[in-house]
Structure 1
């Protein structure tokens, strides 16, 4: 546990270069090239985290202002993904889940049941959050561990199935995404796309960024789209002119800078990927392997990022309109973009289809959060989480982004609760 906690505290910006340098040495990359590749990966993660931090830091006050302006007074508060990560890494199931997940991944690779080598250790908290809430419900380390591993296993399967399509659509080679939140929403996106294809008029709308740029020129480019969305969010938040314009420029900056940072990471990834491909083909000529990474690499796509921005007011409106919902979207509003990236290729990266699908996903999250709020709050209390400013210690909790409020996480928690 001390080793695991040390690695997690390093964060992906330090942990990933170490992992990639080790991989580079295993795959016989020259030391100098291995160092360059691993550092590019680390620099890419630093850049991605800085830009995402800018996005979340910029949109956070706007989201809070919208919550206040809309006059929402729901009884279950979203305390944000850091609380979810604290629960995920804080319960007694952690050592059992981490080592079991690594061993399970190795066994799946050995028996050719997966192609994904999941090195995205930092995001293990997504499926461990499901296990942590199950532990809170059952007080059983065994049941909590089993629930977390089922969630992990299904995420690995989806990672394998979606990898070819995602690699093609996002121009990323040799990677997959066993992200236990984003992956679970891929079937939802596919189902929504199937329904849209049956609706005359709606199915013919072309709203992917390339089509918009072709039709409207500079008005359809990511920087313009970011400016417009930033200004719109500022207006909805009730900001003054200066704040609205600042928000517009900062969101435009994110739209431009995030893909650039991803390109830096991919440059380092490509060095290791090519060496790994050559090394593995010599020893396993009939096998193909994917490196499992964080979906942060996917949210820089203009269609994904724009949809994530539109989901902020969309989630607040849904919170008001959905009968029976008790969840107040709050800290995680700016992180809703992480629900949709893996489903994007199956929705043709079409802004209209992505937004409709995103609303369906958010509705499911709100109902799941309402359903498991007492158990989620118990889990948070077990690990003594630090709550964000403005969130009362007596309020029930349920985050928007994390494994517990996915359809799969909700199902596992409810099934375990029956036998508690």
Structure 2
């Protein structure tokens, strides 16, 4: 665990090259090629993180300006995924959960219960935060640990099932996404898609990046679309013209650069994946395997980025008008794009359906986040997170605790307490 903690502390950009270098060696890619592939993945992650940070650093203040402009004073604060990640990695059940994940994944692969080899260790925090919340409810180490182990096993199975749809829509192969926070909204996307396809008129509404580009020419290009969306957000934030234009240009830059950086990352990933596929076919004939990855690989899709940007004002308006809501969208507003990464394949990149799904997701997040805030706050205290004195409750929008998974986790914990 000391080794694992040290590697995780270095961040994904350092951790992933190490993992892929080791994986390359295991699958007999050779030291030189393994090192190159690992470094390429690392460079890709650095590039992706730089662009994402560019986007978040510019959208974050704009989102907060919109919140302040509307004078929203809600008692449960969205503290963002970085704080949520720290809560997860700081929970007392962390060591047992992480070791359990590695063992569970290995056993399921050997017993043919999953095709997914999950190397996305950095995002274990999403599961860990759920476990930390259950622990806050029950104070029971083993119930919280086993509960998260079960969720992890289920997620691996769902990742197998969803992989063909994702691979087809994103033109990827050999990859799955056991990402609990994104996967949580895939069933909702399937439901929204089914309902809208049965409503005359609405079923013909279809907006995606390619159709917008085809219809509007240069004005439908990602760079122009990003500029327009950034400018709209700047105006809603009451920015000065110069500041709004600066925001618009930075958003446009992210729309163009993010897919290119993801392309670099995929170059290294594909090298290792091909070697792994070749060797695994020798070891396990007639079997298929997927490498489990982060949804950061998917948010470079223009439809995902554009829809995520549009969800920012939607989230603020919903928080303002929903009766009984106590949760203030804040730190994670700029990260709403991640909610849509695993929605996209099931609505065929239709931005209209993505926005509907995203809006419903936010309604659920706000109500669940309001309800479970005391337990999330307690989990932060247990993980030794120092919160500002004026925080009466916390949650976060892009993890799993503020979705239906978090609600089930809290209710399961309460039921355990009654037994």
**TM, length-normalised to structure 1:** 0.97
Range with bigger deviation, 120-129 or 166-175: 166-175
**Alignment CA distance shift 1:392-1:307 (3 Å):** farther
CA drift at 1:382? 1.6
RMSD: 1.1
CA contact (8 A) 2:41 2:269 kept: yes
Range with bigger deviation, 297-306 or 145-154: 145-154
Map of 1:250 onto structure 2: 250
Map of 2:416 onto structure 1: 419
Q: Which runs of 4+ in 1 moved over 6 A?
A: none
Matched residues in 2 for 1:413 and 1:157: separation?
23
Matched residues in 2 for 1:39 and 1:410: separation?
40
SS of residue matched to 2:308: helix
CA drift at 1:273? 1.2
Matched residues in 1 for 2:87 and 2:125: separation?
8
Matched residues in 2 for 1:31 and 1:419: separation?
50
SS of residue matched to 1:32: helix
Match of 1:405 among 398, 402, 416: 402
Matched residues in 2 for 1:153 and 1:182: separation?
16
Map of 2:392 onto structure 1: 395
2:14 is the alignment partner of 1:14: yes
SS of residue matched to 2:184: helix
Map of 2:265 onto structure 1: 265
2:20 is the alignment partner of 1:23: no
Matched residues in 2 for 1:409 and 1:396: separation?
16
Alignment of 1:5-404 (within 5 A): 5-387=5-387, 392-404=389-401
Matched residues in 2 for 1:329 and 1:291: separation?
33
Matched residues in 1 for 2:395 and 2:301: separation?
28
SS of residue matched to 2:90: coil
CA contact (8 A) 1:116 1:289 kept: yes
Spell out, residue by residue over 1:305-353, the C-alpha distance to the aligned partner (whole angstroms, 9 max, x if none).
1111111100011111212111000001011111111110111101111
Matched residues in 1 for 2:202 and 2:330: separation?
31
CA drift at 1:393? 4.4
Matched residues in 2 for 1:121 and 1:54: separation?
24
CA drift at 1:153? 2.0
CA drift at 1:419? 2.6
CA drift at 1:402? 0.9
Name the count of aligned residue pairs: 417
**Alignment CA distance shift 1:250-1:184 (3 Å):** same
CA contact (8 A) 1:83 1:386 kept: no
CA drift at 1:386? 4.3
Spell out, residue by residue over 1:257-287, the C-alpha distance to the aligned partner (whole angstroms, 9 max, x if none).
0000000001111111111111111221211
Matched residues in 2 for 1:73 and 1:270: separation?
48
**TM, length-normalised to structure 2:** 0.97
CA contact (8 A) 2:92 2:383 kept: no
Range with bigger deviation, 26-35 or 345-354: 26-35
Range with bigger deviation, 273-282 or 353-362: 273-282
CA contact (8 A) 1:151 1:408 kept: no
CA contact (8 A) 2:75 2:391 kept: no
CA drift at 1:242? 0.6
SS of residue matched to 1:331: coil
CA drift at 1:74? 1.0
CA drift at 1:157? 1.8
CA contact (8 A) 1:155 1:184 kept: no
Matched residues in 2 for 1:72 and 1:406: separation?
22
Matched residues in 1 for 2:390 and 2:25: separation?
48
Spell out, residue by residue over 1:159-180, the C-alpha distance to the aligned partner (whole angstroms, 9 max, x if none).
1111111111112211111001
5+ long unaligned stretches in structure 2: none
SS of residue matched to 1:419: helix
CA contact (8 A) 2:369 2:403 kept: no
